[in-house]
Structure 1
């Protein structure tokens, strides 16, 4: 097992704060969403950071390693291409499923548009381990996988989060990206103890740590990445740092970006939380850290390599995959298509999750098609949420934007004829395989060639 790269303190790179990140002192590395990068046209900001020696790690969100299907070869190739273009020491993804249905279950393929939790069962673990191995074989650098935040829990789970992550790392040798904000989310929403989860983890497998903010509404914690990091999340980070020296710690912020000084203050608070943990200053009631230093504990790496030399289990069979696929399809269909709630799930909490998924779709569509909120004004969000209530996403966010506009036009909405005309023009320009202007240009070129050939 190769030694984990020492990353230091970092921040999630986003186009909206690119200038702020470049100017921020003490940033050793950044993380960029893989799906938002084009290897041949990397943002100038990331290129300048690379030239300064700042490490850039691609962070995938759409692979769906926890899904019943085997990982898509095209998505894996894209992730590998970005790792090579950025000369990254590792790549990261999530322990989650993001789509369900399709040939495996003889049902329509549905997209969640967000990360959904994997059941902590033996079937799901076998499938996840095989999927992780497939991904490891396809990637040019080590893979680390992240625990996710959950609004709902699966019935009849067989393991705790810590046990599930331990077995995953033990059987595959995969590294772990531990999100302490997600541990806090699962504490509030599912009653899980963050200290217990940390105590069960293979600490030597940690690649780095995520820290982020959120908010609580009606007793439910929403992992928004759009709010300041709260004290309980920093306390969990301190507890983790008292047990192991994290190779890297990174602040995530995706929305509602504050001024540069405030962001820098949050990064400094993260440094302080880690320093307190390394000094043994564990907040009361958060854990009993051991102070083990993964960077100097060579025996831990040796033991881990020995333990993982022979992966356990025979892998996932088609029967296991189908069982998992049917369960995930039933849950996702209830969330995005209004079908009955599967037995054993909390109906009220599934309603919260369904609204969260629809809101996420509305937010991302507004980013990939920023003209739509401008054209529709205050009516954009309620119109989209109404559309999304029983119309699942099946082809990605750009397709979702086109389908939304087509739905409006078919129903004679909005009432303003001028806005409808603008939406129709927008839809016609983008609905084909190439923009309408390019198609017209191609037709003109073909007609010109025919005329010339007749001469």
Structure 2
């Protein structure tokens, strides 16, 4: 695996800061936000300086019940080629449900939702990953996600699920240590156990990000400083394997460049602590002595994290077992990482050429359609409960479902305000309440831009907003964007225009 170094998520709001920031070896860009033929000037300049750019997809839905959409795969491939990227990344998540397998209308989550960790869901995910690998010109890496809720009846831990996925497909792993922390706080899952169960030699790179606590759960916001416990998990990971790359994610509430630089330096120090600890333990183990250095902060068995706000702290219950495992990782990490990286690269290239073979060399059996249909029905029931107010599926925590539903609606309102910034201006302080009321009755059927148009149309049909000037402005905004081309640049068909105005005149 190519060594990436230290990177940061490139966003238009911090483009200038990223260009001027010392020590940036690579950047990651949201794939859906880049036009292959016309990348932003800032990205072009970074590439000219030799900075690697990796496209990071968010809409493929590899964990969904349906096979990956050919158009989305083609778009991801085009971005990888246009940016000269060594790999592309996506998420182990589902982002939409419904459609033909369920004989219902397709609905969108607008967010990354967790896949049930069951054997059937794993079979579907593995086949979807293989389809993606065959369509992409470069290796694929997939990311673990943060979750506010858990599926009932899961059969595998997160580490086991990811291990089997990598083992069966040869896919590389993008490990988000902030998501491991989120799942510890929200689900009680031990990050150290997850790391111990993973094939870390398959690691492509690492994400680090911040979040906040609300409604009794931890929200992976990408809008707050990186907390100490997340850095502690990064140190733990770096003591087990040398990460090819580590990247800071920030999506909003962007601080000054100096603050971002400080977070990057904290990330470098966390990695250095892990490497130093591994090296020292390897030396001590080789000499047959006992280490006198403090044990690593995370321990197997759930005692490593002392609460949602506390830092990782060791304890007697599992420290010796964890220390012995750490020494074993340290002794073999250099040789094992190199060998695994070579094997993983060979397998990824084989998949990219169109092979349907798994790691065992035997053809992978196609997933039976009833398996996909069962997963489709389960995911549709969950997503409908979250965005359409249908009853909660059996076995789910209703309080957590309510928290997730509020979070989805809030995110949806925020993103629509970004893609259609005129709407909050036209509606003023009433925008958010109006949108949340709309969201309760209207699940998202397409992307956020269509959502913005549908929201405006629903207000106009209801005679809103009440203030005549605002209603006129909203009508003009909708008319300008609802046709096949901007109204100001297309011939106006008088009959169609008159009919539309009659519909909206209230």
Range of TM-score over shorter length: over 0.9
Q: 2:456 aligns with which of 387, 405, 411?
A: 405
Moved over 6 A (4+): none
Q: Is the 8 A contact 1:169 1:175 kept in 2?
A: yes
Deviations 1:48-71 (A, max 9, x none): 000000000000000000000000
2:343 and 2:142 map into 1 onto residues whose CA distance is 21
1:403 and 1:352 map into 2 onto residues whose CA distance is 25
Is 1:57 matched up with 2:54?
Answer: yes
2:481 and 2:138 map into 1 onto residues whose CA distance is 37
Deviation at 1:360, TM superposition (A): 1.0
Residue 372 of structure 2 is matched in structure 1 by 321
Deviations 1:258-291 (A, max 9, x none): 0110000000000000000001173254454333
Q: Is the 8 A contact 1:50 1:56 kept in 2?
A: yes
Is 1:353 matched up with 2:373?
Answer: no
Deviation at 1:411, TM superposition (A): 1.3
Matched pairs, number? 440
Is 1:298 matched up with 2:349?
Answer: no
2:266 and 2:335 map into 1 onto residues whose CA distance is 22
Q: Is the 8 A contact 2:201 2:336 kept in 1?
A: no
Q: 2:482 aligns with which of 400, 414, 431?
A: 431
Deviations 1:14-72 (A, max 9, x none): 00000000000000000000000001111000000000000000000000000000000
Q: Is the 8 A contact 1:203 1:294 kept in 2?
A: no
SS for the counterpart of 1:40 is coil
Q: 1:393 aligns with which of 444, 447, 457?
A: 444
Residue 283 of structure 1 is matched in structure 2 by 297
Task: Say if 1:33 and 1:158 are closer, same or farther in 2 by CA, change over 3 A.
Answer: same
Q: Is the 8 A contact 1:17 1:257 kept in 2?
A: yes
1:297 and 1:400 map into 2 onto residues whose CA distance is 46
Residue 157 of structure 2 is matched in structure 1 by 160
Q: Is the 8 A contact 1:68 1:324 kept in 2?
A: yes
Residue 452 of structure 1 is matched in structure 2 by none
Deviations 1:150-186 (A, max 9, x none): 0010000000000000000000000000000000000
Q: Which segment drifts farther, 376-385 or 176-185?
A: 376-385
- Mapping 1:24-423, distance limit 5 Å: 24-280=21-277, 282-283=296-297, 285=299, 286=304, 288=323, 289=326, 290-291=329-330, 292-293=332-333, 297-301=337-341, 308-310=359-361, 314-423=365-474
Q: Which runs of 5+ in 2 are unaligned?
A: 278-293, 305-321, 348-357, 495-506
SS for the counterpart of 1:32 is strand
Q: Is the 8 A contact 1:294 1:300 kept in 2?
A: no
Residue 450 of structure 1 is matched in structure 2 by none
Deviation at 1:325, TM superposition (A): 0.3
Deviation at 1:294, TM superposition (A): 5.2
Q: Which runs of 5+ in 1 are unaligned?
A: 444-455
Deviations 1:230-279 (A, max 9, x none): 00000000000000000000000001000110000000000000000001
1:221 and 1:296 map into 2 onto residues whose CA distance is 35
Task: Say if 1:75 and 1:414 are closer, same or farther in 2 by CA, change over 3 A.
Answer: same
- Give the RMSD, CA atoms, in angstroms: 1.7
Deviation at 1:136, TM superposition (A): 0.2
Residue 502 of structure 2 is matched in structure 1 by none
SS for the counterpart of 1:195 is helix
SS for the counterpart of 2:65 is coil
Deviations 1:105-137 (A, max 9, x none): 111100000100000001100000000000000
2:27 and 2:198 map into 1 onto residues whose CA distance is 25
Deviations 1:71-118 (A, max 9, x none): 000000000000000000000000000000001111110000010000
Q: Which segment drifts farther, 74-83 or 311-320?
A: 311-320
Task: Say if 1:357 and 1:218 are closer, same or farther in 2 by CA, change over 3 A.
Answer: closer
- Calculate the TM-score normalised by the size of structure 2: 0.84
Q: Is the 8 A contact 1:245 1:295 kept in 2?
A: no
Residue 446 of structure 1 is matched in structure 2 by none
Deviation at 1:312, TM superposition (A): 7.4
- Calculate the TM-score normalised by the size of structure 1: 0.94
Deviations 1:186-206 (A, max 9, x none): 000011000000000001111
1:366 and 1:295 map into 2 onto residues whose CA distance is 50
Deviation at 1:301, TM superposition (A): 3.9
Deviation at 1:413, TM superposition (A): 1.4
